A and B are shown apart, each in its own frame.
Chain A
Amino acid sequence: MTAYFRAVWQCRYFWLSLVKMDLRTRYRRSVLGIGWSLLNPIAMTVIFCTVFSQVFGQADIGSYGAYLLAGLSCWQFLTGVCLQGCQCFYRGESYIRQHPAPLAIYPLRIVLGCMIHFLLALVVVLVLVWGVRGLGNLRSLWMLVPSLTVLFAFGWSLALLAGFATVHFHDTPHLMEILFQILFYATPVMYVADILPERLAPVVRFNPVLPFLDLIRVPILENRVPSLQTTGSAVLITCGVAVTAGFVLKRLGKRLIFHL
C-alpha cells in the first residue's frame, strides 16, 4: 500500500498539472470567474433566506444564511465528488490507454478540484459568519484541518468507487442523481435537525452524510469542536468506504482497461 501511494506521489506533477488546468478552465482565468462558480450556493442561500424570512417569518436570517451556506457547500463537495467521479476514468481514458500510471490518480484529480472549490466556498461562509456575528473563537477553526482531511479521504474513496461503478454500469450517474435528490431532503442541509418530528428522528440518526456536514458546520457556526460521536462516525464511515475503495481497486483495477 505504501508502494502504491509512493507511485501516486511519483506522478504528482502529472495530476497536479491536470488539477490546475481543471480549475483554470472552471474559473476562466479570472477573479470574477471564481465568484461566478460560487454563485450557485450563494444564490440558493439568498433564495432560501428570502423565502424563509418572508413566507415563514424566520427571524434570525443571518445565522440561518450562514448555516445554509456552510451546509450547501459541503453538500456540493460531496455530490460533486461523486458525480464528477463517475467520469474520472473516462476523462483519463487516453492516458490510461498509454501509460500504466496508478489508477487512483484519476479520482484524485477530481477530489482535489472539488476540494479547492470547497475551500473557496468556505471562505465566503467565514466572511458571512464574521459579518453576522463578529470574529468568534478563531481557535476552533483549527478543527477544520482534521475535518477537511477526513472529507478529503472520504471524497477520494467515493470518487474512485463512483468511477469504477460507472465503468461497469453506465447508468450509475443517472441513479446517483436520483439518490442524491432523495438524500438532500433526508439530510438537514436546509433545515435544522431539531425541527423534525419525533417519528422522523431515525432519518437523521442514521444519516451517513450528516456527520460530515457537522464536521464543517460545528467549528464554524458554533465555535466548538465537533462531538466525539460526530467525529467518530465520520472517521468510521470514511474508513469503511476507503477500505472498500482499496479492495475494488485491487480486484478490478488491472482489468479496468478492458471495460473502457
Chain B
Amino acid sequence: MAHIDLDHVDLTFHVRKCGRVSLKEFLVRQMFRRSANPIMEVRALRDVTLHVGEGERVGIIGHNGAGKSTILKLLAGIYPPTEGTRVVEGQISSLFEIALGFEHDASGWENIGFRGYLQGETPSTIKDKIQGIADFSELGEFLNMPVRYYSAGMLVRLAFSIATAIEPEILLVDEVLSVGDMAFQHKAHERMREMMAKARLIVMVSHDLTSLAQFCTRGIWMDHGTVRMDGAMEKVTAAYTASVSHPPSQAA
C-alpha cells in the first residue's frame, strides 16, 4: 500500500542575508561578536498534517511562495522536516526541476544513462527503455551531440522523456505539463495521462487549474505554508478562484 503521512510538519529555512559565509568572516564574527550577516528565518511550512492514501490523485494549488513546491520536495525526501514526522511508503518518482541536472559535456544518450541510473535503472533495464526514451524525445541525431549545444526546449524534451519512462508507485509532479512546443505538449499530456493511470498515488502542483481538474480528484489549497483548504478538487478550485478574483480587504 502506497501512502503518505505528514504529521504536524514544520519546515524552516535559514537564509543568510548576504549569501554564503566565508571561514574568514565566520572567525571574525566569532571574535568580535558582531553579526553583519544575520540569519533570517523563513517558515516555509507550518503545522501541515496530511494523509494521502492509495489511489488518490491530489492537486495542490496556491499563490507563488505558498509552499507548494516545498511540500512536494519534502514528500520526495529532499527537504527534511524541521518539526514533525514524514512517513512515505512506496517507491517515489519525482518530476521537478527536470530541465536541470544534465552533464553538459556528455551526449544525450549518456545523459539518458545518468538520469536513468539515478532513477534506479540498471544497465539491463535501461537497454529496453533507451530506444523508447529516444523516440519519445524526437531528438534523433541530436542525441549524439553534447547536451551543451541543446536549446532549452530540447533539454526539456529529453528530461521529460527520461523522467516519465519509469513506472512509479508514487508520482510527484511540479509544473511540468507546459513543456516543449505545441506538438510535444500534446504528447506530454498523453504521457502524463498514461503515467497517472499507472501510478498508485499522485501529488501534483500546478497553476494550470484546468489540467489539475482533469487529473486530480482531491484538492489542497496552500496559503503561507499552511493548508487552507482540503477537499474535492472542484470545490477547492472554486474557492481558490473566488478568493483570487475577489481578494478580501485585509489581504493587503
Closest residue to A25 on the B side, CB-wise?
B105
Interface residues of A in 137-174 (CB under 8 A from B): 168-172
Q: Which residue of A lies closest to B82 (CB)?
A: A255
Shortest distance between the CB of B224 and any CB in chain A (Å): 20
Residues from 7 to 41 in B contacting A, C-beta threshold 8 Å? 13-14, 20-24, 26
Residues of A within 8 A of B78 (CB): 96-100, 257
Q: Does B80 contact A (CB under 8 A)?
A: yes
Residue B132 lies at the interface, judged by CB distance under 8 Å to chain A: no
The answer to whether B114 touches A169, judged by C-beta atoms less than 8 angstroms apart, is no
The docked-state distance in angstroms from the alpha carbon of A97 to that of B118 is: 12
A-B pair count, CB < 8 Å, reads 73
- Contact of A254 with B21 at beta-carbon distance under 8 Å, contacts A14-B118, A98-B94, A99-B119 already known: no
**CB interface residues, B 70-113, toward A, < 8 Å:** 76-80, 94, 96-98, 100-103, 105-106, 110, 113
A168 to B14 alpha-carbon distance, docked (Å) = 13
Asked if A254 and B24 make an inter-chain contact with CB atoms under 8 angstroms apart, the answer reads: no
Chain A residues touching B, majority SS: helix
Closest chain-A Cβ to B17's Cβ sits at a distance in Å of: 15
* B117 contacts chain A at the CB level, 8 A cutoff: yes
A170-B114 contact in complex given A94-B101, A254-B80, C-beta closer than 8 Å: no
Q: How far is the CB of A207 from chain B (nearest CB, A)?
A: 23
Tell me if A56 counts as interface (CB < 8 A to partner B).
Answer: no
**A169-B23, A169-B26, A170-B21 given as contacts; is B118 within 8 A of A99 (CB)?**
yes
- Contacts A170-B21, A257-B78, A258-B13 hold; do A97 and B110 have CB atoms under 8 A apart? no
Beta-carbon contacts of A3-36 to B below 8 Å, as 1s and 0s? 0000000110110011001000100000000000
**A101 part of interface (Cβ distance < 8 Å):** yes
Count the B residues whose beta carbon is within 8 Å of the partner chain — how many?
33
How many whole Å from B162's CB to the nearest CB in chain A? 11
A175 at the interface (CB under 8 A from B): yes
A203 to B228, CA, bound (A): 65
- Verify A14–B117 contact, CB threshold 8 A: yes
Give the secondary structure class of B's interface: loop
The answer on a CB contact under 8 Å between B97 and A21 is: no
Contact A13-B22, Cβ < 8 Å, known A255-B80, A258-B14: no
Does A191 interact with chain B (Cβ within 8 Å)? no
Assess the B117–A97 pair: CB atoms within 8 A: no
Interface mask (B214-232 → A, CB under 8 Å = 1, otherwise 0): 0000000000000000000
Known: A171-B22, A172-B23, A257-B79. A13 touches B121 (CB 8 A): yes
From B14, B22, B103, B117, A11 is in contact (CB under 8 Å) with B117
Q: Is the CB of B103 within 8 A of A21?
A: yes
Q: Does A130 contact B (CB under 8 A)?
A: no
> Residues 98-119 of chain A: 1 if any B CB is under 8 Å from the residue's CB, otherwise 0?
1111000000000000000000
A-B complex: 3 closest residue pairs judged by Cβ atoms: A94-B101, A100-B77, A14-B117
